[in-house]
Structures are given as structure tokens and as C-alpha cells.
């Protein structure tokens, strides 16, 4: 080993020791200081307002065969329905589907 290589190795070792000392200094000073209050980190979820979940009221039907919406169309009422075919545009292509609309009228 030449004299130059020995000097380079000792300089490298001393610089590594200096860096190691600097890396441990903040930890030591942080332990001697009073602990800081932890600040909550802002994230996408924490920035949203928190609400309790909504409660939905579910009313059971007395007769499952009833027409919805429930109302009394009156005596002698007739259900008038119109059925047609309409085009729907879907990713697989255009398709023709049946549509039906109904309403109550007096009979």
C-alpha cells in the first residue's frame, strides 16, 4: 500500500465517522427536549367532513302484487298501457329493447 492510498483511506474513515456523528446528534437532542405535540397529517380522507351514515326507513308492502305508486284511482278505473320498442346504444352495439309506460284513467 502506498502512502497516498493510506492517506485516502484515513480521510475516508474520518469523514464516515463525522457523518455518523452528525446523524446521531439530532436524535440525542430530540430526546433531551420536551416531546412535541403530534400534528395530524392531512390526507384526502381526513380533509373530508365526517358524517354519520344515513338511515333509510323501509316500509314493508302489505301486498306484494300492488302497483307502485300506491293511490286510489277511483271506481271503474282502467290501466292504460303503451308498449314500444326503442333503440339503446351500448358498447357492444345498438340494440332494440321493449319499453312500457302505463297510467290509470277513468273507465
pLDDT along the chain (107 residues), means of 10: 76 76 57 60 65 81 64 83 95 96 85
CB-side neighbour CA atoms (13 Å) of 71: 8
Least Cα distance to 73 among 102, 45, 33, 42 occurs for 102
93 in any annotated domain: no
Q: What is the pLDDT of residue 82?
A: 95
pTM of the model: 0.32
Structural domain harbouring 23: 1-31
CB-side neighbour CA atoms (13 Å) of 87: 3
Q: What is the pLDDT of residue 89?
A: 95
The continuous run of DSSP H or E covering 78 comes out as: strand 77-90
1 in any annotated domain: yes
Q: What is the pLDDT of residue 90?
A: 94
Q: What is the pLDDT of residue 91?
A: 95
Q: What is the pLDDT of residue 37?
A: 63
| Count of structural domains within the chain | 1
Interacting residues of 106 by C-beta distance below 8 A, sequence separation 6+: 73, 74, 76, 77, 78
Q: What is the pLDDT of residue 39?
A: 64
Q: What is the pLDDT of residue 81?
A: 93
13 in any annotated domain: yes
Amino acid at each position: 500500500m502506498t502512502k497516498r492510498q493510506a492517506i485516502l483511506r484515513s480521510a475516508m474513515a474520518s469523514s464516515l465517522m463525522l457523518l455518523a456523528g452528525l446523524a446521531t446528534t439530532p436524535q440525542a437532542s430530540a430526546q433531551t427536549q420536551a416531546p412535541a405535540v403530534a400534528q395530524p397529517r392531512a390526507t384526502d380522507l381526513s380533509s373530508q367532513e365526517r358524517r354519520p351514515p344515513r338511515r333509510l326507513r323501509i316500509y314493508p308492502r302489505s301486498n306484494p302484487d300492488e302497483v307502485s305508486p300506491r293511490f286510489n284511482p277511483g271506481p271503474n278505473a282502467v290501466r292504460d298501457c303503451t308498449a314500444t320498442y326503442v333503440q339503446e346504444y351500448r358498447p357492444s352495439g345498438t340494440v332494440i329493447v321493449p319499453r312500457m309506460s302505463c297510467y290509470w284513467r277513468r273507465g
